[in-house]
Amino acid sequence: MRSRKENCRCHEKVRNQRRDYLHKLSRIITDRYEAVAVEDIDMKAMSQCLKFGKSVMDNSYGAFREMLRYKLKDQGKELVKVDRFFPSSKMCSRCGNIKKELSLDERIYYCGCGNCMDRDVNAAVNIREEGRRLLGTA
């Protein structure tokens, strides 16, 4: 059985590994792109309402977004926050049709126009395009 001190060291190591990974990933993204669009998600509300619990808070999305923000700013680049109520998951990235209902267990997005793609990829395309629109480059 581990002592309390060993347990604390283990948690610290994991925390440092996560922070190191986020710094490296944010640096790669910052160096590669002139602007980055992210969804302005309320992680606290998401953890309470959607029954994801602590797993949502463990992913360090807020820390990652902050790292992106200051690294982009240092290089004179932009971080665009897309409104949390923008229907990124429910909107077809091809035709713009918006589904009224889309449950979390539907992992493939199907549209009447024939578009069939991973739900997260569809949302990412929509966020990218909304970011371009907000920047005035679309």
Q: Where are the domains of the chain?
A: 1-82, 86-138
Question: What is the average pLDDT across 91-120?
Answer: 91
* pLDDT at residue 42, rounded to an integer: 75
8-47 pLDDT per residue, tens: 999 999 999 999 999 999 999 999 999 999 998 877 766 6
Q: State the DSSP string of 82-106.
A: EPTTS-TTTB-TTT--B-S---TT-
Distances (CA, A) of 104 to 15, 17, 52, 101, 125: 29, 30, 12, 10, 18
Q: What is the pLDDT of residue 21?
A: 96
Over residues 68-103, the pLDDT tens digits come to: 999 999 999 999 999 999 999 999 999 999 998 888
Instruction: Extract long-range pairs of 124-130: CB within 8 Å, 24+ residues apart.
Output: 124/88, 125/93, 126/86, 126/87, 126/88, 126/89, 126/91, 126/93, 127/37, 127/38, 127/39, 127/82, 127/86, 127/88, 128/37, 129/93, 130/37, 130/82, 130/86, 130/88
Beta strands 116-118 and 108-110: pairing type?
antiparallel
**pTM for this prediction:** 0.82
